[in-house]
Amino acid sequence: MKKINFSNILIFVLLLVLSFLFLIPIITVVINSFKDQFFISQTPFVLPNSNTFAGLENYIKGIADTGFIAAFFWSLFITVCSVAAIVLFTAMTAWYITRVKTRFNSILYYLFVFSMIVPFQMVMFTMSKIANVLKLDNPIGLVFIYLGFGAGLSVFIFSGFVKSIPLSLEEAAIIDGCNTLQSFIYVVFPMLKPTAITVAILNTMWIWNDYLLPYLVIGSDYKTIPIAVQYLKGGYGSVDMGAMMAMLVLSIVPVIVFYLSCQKYIIKGVTAGAVKG
Amino acid sequence: MKKGAKRWAIVFLLPTVIAFCIAFLIPFIMGLYLSFCEFRTVGDAQFVGLQNYIRAFSQDSDFINALVFTIKYAITAVISINVIAFFLALMLTRRIRGTNLFRTIFFMPNLIGGIVLGYIWQLIINGVLYNYGYSITSSATFGYWGLVILSSWQMIGYMMIIYIAGIQNISSSVLEAARVDGASSLRTLISITIPSVMPSITICLFLSITNSFKLFDQNLALTAGAPSKQTQMLALDIYNTFYGRIGYEGVGQAKAVVFFVMVAGIALLQLYFTRSKEVEH
Question: CB of B36 within 8 Å of any CB in chain A?
Answer: no
Q: Residue B267 domain-assigned?
A: yes
More confident residue, B270 or B211: B211
Nearest CA in chain A to B5: A180
- A184-197 exposure pattern, b = at least 16 Cβ within 10 A, e = fewer: beebbbebbeebbb
Of A28, A96, A209, nearest to B12 by CB-CB distance is: A96
What residues 57-76 of chain B have any CB closer than 8 A to a CB of chain A? Answer: none
A197-201, B18-22, B83-87: least confidently modelled range? A197-201
- Residues of A (147-176) whose Cβ lies below 8 Å from B: 147-149, 151-152, 155, 167, 170-171, 174
Q: Percent of chain B having pLDDT more than 70?
A: 96
How does DSSP assign A228-253, residue by residue?
A: HHHHHH-SSSPP-HHHHHHHHHHHHH
A29 Cβ under 8 Å from any chain B Cβ: yes
Model confidence at B158, in pLDDT bands (50, 70, 90)? very high
Residues B75 and B208 reside in one and the same domain: yes
Whether residue B281 has pLDDT greater than 60: no
| Chain A nearest C-alpha distance from B107 (Å) | 9
Q: Are residues B90 and B19 in the same domain?
A: no
Contact criterion met (CB < 8 Å) for B127 and A119: no
DSSP A47: P
Average pLDDT, chain A: 89
Is the pLDDT reported for residue B163 higher than 90?
yes
Out of A125, A134, A263, closest to residue B242 by CB: A125
Q: Does B189 touch chain A (CB under 8 A)?
A: no
Least CB–CB distance from B111: residue in A85, A205, A230: A205
Determine the average pLDDT of the residues in B248-277. Answer: 87
For B232, list phi and psi in degrees, rounded to 5: -85, 125
Domain A67-234 falls under CATH 1.10.3720.10: yes
Q: Which residues of chain A does B27 touch, with a Cβ-Cβ cutoff of 8 Å?
A: 123, 126-127, 130
Residue B88 forms contact with A (CB below 8 Å): yes
Report whether pLDDT(A40) > 90.
Answer: no
Is residue B269 a part of any domain in this protein? yes
Nearest CA in chain B to A129: B42
Asked if the Cβ–Cβ distance from B113 to A181 is below 8 Å, we say no
Model confidence band, residue A96 (pLDDT cutoffs 50, 70, 90): very high
Same domain, residue pair B150 and B244: yes
At A52, is the pLDDT very low, low, confident or very high (cuts 50, 70, 90)? confident
Interchain pair A99, B41: CB under 8 A: no
* Same domain flag for B201 and B253: yes
- B22 and B64 part of one domain: no
- Confirm if B121 and B149 have CB atoms less than 8 A apart: yes
Give the span between the Cα atoms of B53 and B177, in whole angstroms: 59
> Domain check: are B231 and B149 in the same one?
yes
pLDDT (tens digit per residue) in B31-71: 999 999 988 877 778 888 888 899 989 888 889 999 999 99
**A262 inside 8 A of chain B by CB:** no
Asked if residue B81 and residue B151 are part of one domain, the reply reads: yes
- Tens digits of per-residue pLDDT, A210-220? 999 999 999 88
A134–chain B Cβ distance below 8 A for any pair? yes
pLDDT 10s digits, B83-130: 999 999 999 998 888 899 999 999 999 999 999 999 999 999 999 998
Whether B229 has a pLDDT exceeding 90, the answer reads no
What is the spatial distance between Cα A160 and Cα A152, in angstroms, rounded to a whole number? 13
Contacts of residue A14 in chain B, CB cutoff 8 Å? 91
Q: B52-82 burial string, b = 16+ CB within 10 Å, else e?
A: bbebbeeeeebbebbbebbbebbebbbebbb
Where does the pLDDT of residue B3 fall: very low under 50, low under 70, confident under 90, or very high at 90 and above?
low
Same domain assignment for residues B250 and B211 = yes
**Partner-chain residue, chosen from A12, A115, A155, that has the shortest CB–CB distance to B96:** A12
Residues of A whose CB is below 8 A from B126: 41, 44
Q: Where are the alpha helices (DSSP H) in B92-171?
A: 99-107, 114-130, 140-168
Co-location of B14 and B128 in the same domain? no
Read off the CATH number of the domain in which B215 is found: 1.10.3720.10
Cα(B120)–Cα(B109) distance, rounded to whole angstroms? 11
Asked if A180 and A99 count as a contact pair (C-beta separation under 8 A), the reply is no
Q: How far B244 CA lies from chain A's nearest CA (Å)?
A: 13
- Report how far residue B90's alpha carbon sits from residue B71's, in angstroms, rounded to the nearest whole number: 28
Co-location of B222 and B256 in the same domain: yes
As a whole number, mean pLDDT of residues A137-148 equals 95
**A277 neighbourhood in chain B, CB within 8 Å:** 203, 207
Verify that B83 and B157 share a domain, yes or no.
Answer: yes
User: A215, A211, A217: which is closest to A251 by C-alpha?
Assistant: A211
Q: Does A44 touch chain B (CB under 8 A)?
A: yes
Q: What pLDDT score was predicted for residue A107?
A: 95
Chain B hits for A264, CB-CB cut-off 8 Å, are: none
Number of domains into which chain B is organized: 2
Per the rule left: phi > 0, alpha: psi between -120 and 50, beta: everything else, B224 is: left
Q: Is A147 in contact with B16 (Cβ distance < 8 A)?
A: yes
Q: Are A239 and B126 in contact (CB under 8 A)?
A: no
- Rg, chain B, Cα only: 23
Whether B21 is in a domain gets the answer yes
A263 at the B interface (CB within 8 A)?
yes
Note whether A122 and B260 are within 8 A (CB): yes
Distance from CA of B23 to the nearest CA of A (A): 5
Domain locations in chain A as residue ranges:
2-60, 67-234
Phi, psi of B37 (to 5 degrees): -125, 160
pLDDT at B2 over 60: no
Model confidence pLDDT, tens digit, residues A214-267: 999 998 889 999 999 998 886 555 788 889 999 999 999 999 999 999 888 888
Question: Which residues are CB-contacts of B70 (< 8 A; sequence separation ≥ 6)?
Answer: B212, B213, B215, B233, B234
Q: Which domain holds residue B157?
A: 57-280
Q: Is residue B42 part of a domain?
A: no
**Cβ contact, residue pair B27, A123, below 8 Å:** yes
B31 contact A CB<8A: yes
Contact A148 B22 (CB under 8 A): yes
Q: Does B6 touch chain A (CB under 8 A)?
A: yes
Q: Same structural domain for residues B188 and B219? A: yes
